[in-house]
Structure 1
Amino acid sequence: MELIFTSIKDAIRLKIYLSANGIKEKLNESQGQFNYTFDVHSEKKDRYVKSLIHFIKEVKRNEWLNNTLLQTYHYENEDERSQIIDIASQMFSGVRSDLTDLVEKENEDLLLDQAVRDLLNFEGTVSFHSFSRFRLKPYYEQVGKYLEVAIDEYKMEQEYQMFVHTLRDYLSNRNTRKNTIHLNIENSIRFFDENVQEIASQDLKEMIDQRLLANHPIYVDSAVIAPLLSIAPEKIYLYTFDDDQALVRTLCNIFEERISIATPAHFKVLKEAYTNKP
């Protein structure tokens, strides 16, 4: 079968994937079009399939995502498009399973394998553009579902970054009410002062700047972030066994160099030391 390209760039990029799979087919040119002639009845057929699948996944998919973001969603900023494509790519690679779980999933490799084998089984000449437009339509519909989730995730990440930036500004202009806070978040949220004496919940509530809760009702929780921002300590010692949880990441993003993380075992030793202090 003969596969025709109108773009020399695409034809050459496919050649890279063919060569990587040990295929040395010659690229021919005729009347401004570029074509490969594939011997699909040879032992090389599976390598043709593998080469074309890699070409679609690693080149054409990102190209489609970029064009759709620009033309359909009107993301004119290249950096924004790049960040969204990165999120979508992580979804396809399985890194962002939290996001792929939001989509009705189909096996990407299976979709492409079926489409590419149908292409190679055709006895004649096929334009890669026509193949992409018609035979790959179900595949790109699936890509589009991933893209919608990636856009929503990007917007949420942008809102989160703006939220963090706003709270950093608030913190930089806030007077420190206690120099040091020890915060143990295992099992329950407990605040301690520089002498490792627990701060009563009522005292914490009275320290909270109510403007934080009024201006950021969704993101600023009254249990941890609001008290810490209101106190604005120079140093925070955070005790947890799980330093990858969302709350810990957010606190580190807001308080940056002010915060240090240790285990509850360290806190226990420290607490005993202060309790037994003469």
Structure 2
Amino acid sequence: MLEILFGSPKEAKWIYSIFRTLCKGYETELYLVNQQCIKIIPKSWDISLEKLVIPGLVQFVIDHKEHQIMLTLLEENYFFLEEEEQQQIIHIAQSIIEGERTEIPRVQQLLPRHDILKDALEEFLRPDLYFSFTSFQKFRLHEYTARLREYVEIAIEEYKLEQDYQNFIQSLRDFLLKRESRMDGISIVHDNGFFVYNPDKQEVSEQELKSYIDHTFVNKHPMYIDSKLLAPLVSIAPKWICLYTNDPFDGMVQTVQNVFQERVRLHNLSDFQFATHQ
């Protein structure tokens, strides 16, 4: 028999519901006692542990505890107190946890938190045990909390980078609003590099592009601004841009769209009909 005391009736009902779903097909007696205690009487301890108890508790922690743990870390360890910032950082952390940000090198080195929880439970659980889940979380889940802290730290770094990027984009937009267009429109071809064409369909050389750069603005800019394409584009401030690409998710393509917004018209690379670039 196994008895687990939870911190509130609400928590007990959550885990009871999870256990009821998982125990179908296994001969296990399951009881909710005094609204806060779960009593499990398995026919086979090993099978119930593997198929019911551990998966259920892992799901309970991830679905009902993880968000609050990360929120507490943000508030107490990193002093993020504004709700909007907290939610943005937790959203980034969750996307990292779910494997949506594999481009971040540190993430690939982290053991999945499912495995950490499973190992902690396997080491602790035994037959005829009565324990408080709140105490178990406090004293036995240090490694799991440490792993969440790593995810939160990475998420904070990503959040700050995104904030810097948004500030960077906004400063370029503000500059454009005051800038007089030095060319009505340009076409950009993204094909193993970026190639710029003027309204007369003539390719603009890299040297000519650089001659348009407003160096006063670039030198004052808080972030590095690409001198081959972005700095000339912003300095030219064209009224429209036709951008030909087969990769609309390319970083520079998205930056050009974010800066110039409605001035950009996106086209497939195959739509480009000017003279072939070298």
TM-score above 0.5: yes
- In the alignment, which residue of structure 2 is the partner of 1:39? 41
Deviation at 1:15, TM superposition (A): 2.5
Q: C-alpha offsets along residues 142-187 of structure 1, whole Å, 9 cap, x if unaligned?
A: 1111111011101111111111111111111211111110112322
Kindly indicate whether residue 258 of structure 2 is the aligned counterpart of residue 257 of structure 1.
Answer: no
Question: 1:108 is matched with which residue: 106, 113, 116?
Answer: 113
Kindly indicate whether residue 170 of structure 2 is the aligned counterpart of residue 165 of structure 1.
Answer: yes
Q: C-alpha offsets along residues 18-48 of structure 1, whole Å, 9 cap, x if unaligned?
A: 233246833222xxx8211122453543122
Deviation at 1:83, TM superposition (A): 1.0
Deviation at 1:203, TM superposition (A): 2.6
Kindly indicate whether residue 151 of structure 2 is the aligned counterpart of residue 146 of structure 1.
Answer: yes
Instruction: Report if the CA contact (8 A) 1:212-1:226 is conserved.
Output: no
Kindly indicate whether residue 100 of structure 2 is the aligned counterpart of residue 95 of structure 1.
Answer: yes
Letter in 1 for 2:212: M
Q: Distance in 2 between matches of 1:256 and 1:222?
A: 20
Letter in 2 for 1:175: E
Letter in 2 for 1:96: R
Q: Distance in 2 between matches of 1:116 and 1:231?
A: 62
For 2:210, what is the secondary structure of its paired residue? helix
- In the alignment, which residue of structure 1 is the partner of 2:15? 14
CA gap of 1:123–1:26, structure 2 versus 1, over 3 A, is closer
Which consecutive aligned stretches of 4+ in structure 1 deviate over 4 angstroms post-superposition?
none
Instruction: Report if the CA contact (8 A) 2:16-2:38 is conserved.
Output: no
Instruction: Report if the CA contact (8 A) 2:206-2:228 is conserved.
Output: no
Cα root mean square deviation, aligned: 2.1
Letter in 2 for 1:4: L
- % of aligned pairs identical? 31
Question: 2:125 is matched with which residue: 103, 120, 137?
Answer: 120
Q: Distance in 1 between matches of 2:215 and 2:166?
A: 22
Instruction: Report if the CA contact (8 A) 1:207-1:230 is conserved.
Output: yes
- In the alignment, which residue of structure 2 is the partner of 1:275? none
Instruction: Report if the CA contact (8 A) 2:11-2:36 is conserved.
Output: no
Instruction: Please list every run of 5 or more consecutive structure 1 residues that lacks an aligned counterpart in the other structure.
Output: 273-278
For 1:27, what is the secondary structure of its paired residue? strand
Instruction: Please list every run of 5 or more consecutive structure 2 residues that lacks an aligned counterpart in the other structure.
Output: none
TM-score normalized by structure 1? 0.88
Letter in 1 for 2:180: N
